[in-house]
């Protein structure tokens, strides 16, 4: 199972995508550096340490990849 977590730049909200590795290989599912989603599926991040970690990771990914680049 592949579990991808996209976070907002402030680390306050996340969107999670889960899919099987087998399905991803068969269908060519791409995991991109960024995703645009409606606000409704976003989950609040309540832990400050996790928000900080997400903020740091968003900055790192933004510095290395274009939003539509496959990871």
Q: Identify the band that residue 13 occupies on the pLDDT scale cut at 50, 70 and 90.
A: very high
Give the closest residue to 52 by CA, choosing from 7, 21, 2. Answer: 7
Helix (H, G, I), strand (E, B) or coil at 58: helix
Decide: 50 and 36 in contact? Cβ < 8 Å.
no
Q: Which residues contact 35 (CB under 8 A, 6 or more apart)?
A: 6, 15, 17
Give the pLDDT confidence of 24-67 residue by residue, as tens digits.
778 777 788 999 988 888 999 999 999 999 999 999 999 999 99
- For residues 31 and 34, give the distance between their C-alpha atoms in angstroms, rounded to a whole number: 8
């Amino acid at each position: 199972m592949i579990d991808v977590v996209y976070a907002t730049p402030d680390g306050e909200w996340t969107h999670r995508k889960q899919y099987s590795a087998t399905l991803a290989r068969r269908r060519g599912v791409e995991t991109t550096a960024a995703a645009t989603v409606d606000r409704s599926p976003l989950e609040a991040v309540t832990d400050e340490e996790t928000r900080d970690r997400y903020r740091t990771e968003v900055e790192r990914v933004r510095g290395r990849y274009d939003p539509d680049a496959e990871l």
